[in-house]
Chain A
Amino acid sequence: MIEISHLTKRYGALTAVDDISFNVEPGQVLGFLGPNGAGKSTTMKMITGFLSPTSGTVRVCGHDVEREPLAAKACMGYLPEGAPSYPEMTVRAYLEFIANVRGLSGARRRERLDDVITRLALKGVLEQVIETLSKGFRRRVGLAQALLHDPKVLILDEPTDGLDPNQKHEVRKLISSMSKDKIIVISTHILEEVDAVCNRAIIIAGGKLLADDTPQALASRSPSGRLDDVFRQITTGVQPTHEKEAAHA
């Protein structure tokens, strides 16, 4: 369970996240949508305890992220934006390091490592230095890192960015297959992805929560029934029909 209440983050005069509150329950796959600079990554950084909120609280698995950071972090897996990882390490050494820090040992450790290596098809690059991997593979290594300890809560910031269509499909399948008893929050700019994997979507812009509904219900808000149009309408206030006319003119 993620409980976010009145979460606010200010950078000087800029309010990146503005008084956002919502809860996420197990079984929900929450798509986090919004234009560039909306505050999606900032919100995720506060959920995972990397950034301290200016005000408001986040509780994950019953632990306040600011007060009990270790307990909260232990039940979360996080793929930061851009999937940063240690470039000079091999994929194997990197995953072993994460397993060490996550306190995995013995048979479970081997089982978990095998599981993420198979799921993300990393077998062929295990001995390769991360620096020399292609962007998509680096993203997959980042995902493997987030999934390694089989966390209850997964926070994935643009997990399919840079993946080829096959891998996008695989990762979506992966997310759907894990969704039953987990909480998964993904941010994305690919709206069809929201249709494909999410059972709830939140749209934010300018740090404010503008919509919170199922993807189907959101899509039906537009006469065209397309999520793209609803997204544009909500985040810019422009009616999609007007846009079409402008495009024709």
Chain B
Amino acid sequence: MHNVCAIFRREFASYFATPLAFVFIIIFLLLVGVFAFYVGGFYERGQADLAPFFNYHPWLYLFLIPALSMRLWAEERKSGTIELLMTLPVTVWQAVLGKFLAAWCFAGVALVLTFPMWITVNYLGDPDNGAIFAAYIGSFLTAGGMLAIGACLSAATRNQVIAFILAAVVCFGFLLSGYPLVLNAFRIWAPQAVVDAIASLSFLTHFQSISKGVIDLRDLLYFGIVIATWLIANVIVIEMKKAD
């Protein structure tokens, strides 16, 4: 456990050692605001809730999360520090977990910094704060799922650009599979069970169900399984190709 902790602390601090943390947080906050106010019509709807704010989170994450995850392992490969890390007395699991948790916590910090939105709606009206809390959880879990995907794909290459593109594409697939457009295309020829299965694979389906304000055990389980699966894949990728 102290190894996970040591790696977590090193990784988390490394976000702040470069301009990455500040650039990421500022861009995230800017985009979140732009989408909520201009695209989502936060004021025009005349409702005191944060739906227009949360609705765009998965789409923002689609390219912001790969930007966070791409460096996790690709950078270690590129700079050769993976040789250092893997010859220290830590297991691959501890390293994978420490890195993932650091990136997830960092995403959490960016998310927490959107609290002025929450203050604003409470100032303007009387929103359902329980639902807002649930939506924050849903958003955080979606970020976690995408980070697990990104971390695993980052382990597969030494090139951060490739890691970014791979992660964005796979996350896009995981989002799109819940989009009505895609589901309708399947609905024409596939049985309902298949359509449901595809929809149930999507971040979007589970994110939206949590954002409605009910934290269902099945949704939590879904995110738990997605994160665990990709982290296991991450460990396997590292063990299979530590050196090249």
Which A residues are within 8 Å of any B CB, using their own CB?
45, 48-51, 69-70, 73-74, 76, 78, 80, 82, 84-89, 93, 97-98, 100-103, 129, 145
Contacting pair A93 B87 (CB below 8 A): no
A209 to B79, CA, bound (A): 30
Say yes or no: A48 contacts B80, CB within 8 Å.
Answer: no
Beta-carbon nearest neighbor of B242 in chain A = A50
In the complex where A89-B17, A100-B2, A145-B84 touch, is A50 in contact with B243 (Cβ < 8 A)? Answer: yes
Contact present for B81 and A86 (CB under 8 Å):
yes
Q: Give min CB distance, B84 to chain A, whole Å.
A: 6
Q: Which 5 A-B pairs have the closest CB atoms?
A: A84-B80, A100-B6, A88-B17, A73-B89, A74-B89
29 A–B pairs (Cβ distance < 8 Å), ordered by A: A45-B83, A48-B87, A50-B83, A50-B87, A50-B243, A51-B242, A70-B90, A70-B91, A73-B88, A76-B87, A78-B87, A80-B80, A80-B83, A80-B87, A84-B79, A84-B84, A86-B10, A86-B79, A88-B17, A89-B13, A97-B10, A98-B88, A100-B9, A101-B6, A101-B7, A101-B89, A101-B90, A102-B88, A103-B2
User: Per-position contact with A for B1-17: 1 when CB-CB < 8 Å, else 0?
Assistant: 01101110110011001
7 more contacts with CB within 8 A, not counting A50-B86, A84-B84, A88-B18, are A84-B81, A86-B79, A86-B81, A93-B10, A100-B2, A100-B6, A101-B6
Taking the closest CB of chain A, its distance from the CB of B134, in whole angstroms, is 36
Q: Is the CB of B89 within 8 A of A85?
A: no
- Which of B13, B86, B91 is the one whose CB lies under 8 Å from A93? B13
B14 touches A86 (CB 8 A): yes
Q: Provide the bound-state CA to CA distance between A48 and B87, in Å.
A: 6
Give A88 to B12 CA distance when docked, in angstroms: 12
Q: How far is the CB of A68 from chain B (nearest CB, A)?
A: 11
Residues from chain B with a CB closer than 8 A to the CB of A70 are: 89-91
Q: Find the A residue at minimum CB distance from B14.
A: A88
Q: How far is the CA of A149 from the CA of B88 in the complex (A)?
A: 11
Across the interface, which residues of A come within 8 angstroms of B9, CB to CB?
97, 100
Chain B residues proximal to chain A, CB less than 8 Å: 2-3, 5-7, 9-10, 13-14, 17-18, 79-81, 83-84, 86-91, 242-243
CA distance A19 to B54 in the complex (A): 60
Of the residues A84, A89, A98, A100, contact of B14 by C-beta under 8 Å: A89
Rounded to whole Å, the gap between the CB of B236 and the closest CB of chain A is 14
**How far, in angstroms, from A101 to B90 measured CA to CA in the complex?**
7
Assess the A45–B89 pair: CB atoms within 8 A.
no
- Report Cα–Cα, A132/B222, bound state, in Å: 45
Chain A residue nearest in CB terms to B78: A84
State whether B91 touches A89 (Cβ < 8 A).
no
Determine the chain A residues whose CB is within 8 A of the CB of B83 once the complex forms: 45, 50, 80, 84
Q: Which of B13, B18, B87 has the most CB of A within 10 A?
A: B87
With A73-B89, A100-B2 as contacts: A87 and B80 at CB distance below 8 Å: no
Once bound together, how far apart are the Cα atoms of A89 and B9, in whole Å?
12
Residues A85 and B18 in contact, CB atoms below 8 Å apart: no
A87: chain B residues within 8 A (beta carbon): 79
Q: How far is A70 from B95 in the complex, measured between Cα atoms in Å? A: 13
| CB-based contact A102/B89 at 8 Å | yes
In the bound complex, do residue A85 and residue B81 qualify as a contact, i.e. CB atoms below 8 Å apart? yes
What's the nearest-Cβ distance from chain B to residue A172, in Å? 23
Cβ distance A161 to chain B, nearest Cβ, rounded Å? 14
Contact status of A49 and B88, CB under 8 A, knowing A88-B14, A93-B13, A101-B6: no
A101 CA to B3 CA, complexed, in Å: 6
Smallest CB-CB separation from B15: which chain A residue? A88
Chain A positions within 8 Å of B81 at CB level: 84-86
By a CB distance below 8 angstroms, the chain B residues around A97 are 6, 9-10
Nearest neighbor of A98 in chain B, beta-carbon distance = B88
| B81–chain A nearest beta-carbon distance, Å | 5
**Chain A neighbourhood of B2, CB < 8 A:** 100, 103
Instruction: Please give, as numbers and ranges, the residues of chain A lying within 8 Å of B6 by CB-CB distance.
Output: 97, 100-101
Are A51 and B243 touching (Cβ within 8 A)? yes
A69–B95 Cα distance when bound, in Å, is: 15
Q: How far is the CA of A73 from the CA of B87 in the complex (A)?
A: 6
Q: Complex: how many Å from CA A48 to CA B6?
A: 21
Question: Which of chain B's residues have a CB closer than 8 A to the CB of A48?
Answer: 87
- Shortest C-beta distance, A10 to chain B (Å), equals 13
Contact of A80 among B10, B84, B91 (CB under 8 A): B84
- Chain A residues positioned under 8 Å from B79 (CB to CB): 84, 86-87
Let me know if B87 and A49 touch, CB within 8 A.
yes
Most buried by B among A45, A82, A84, A101: A101
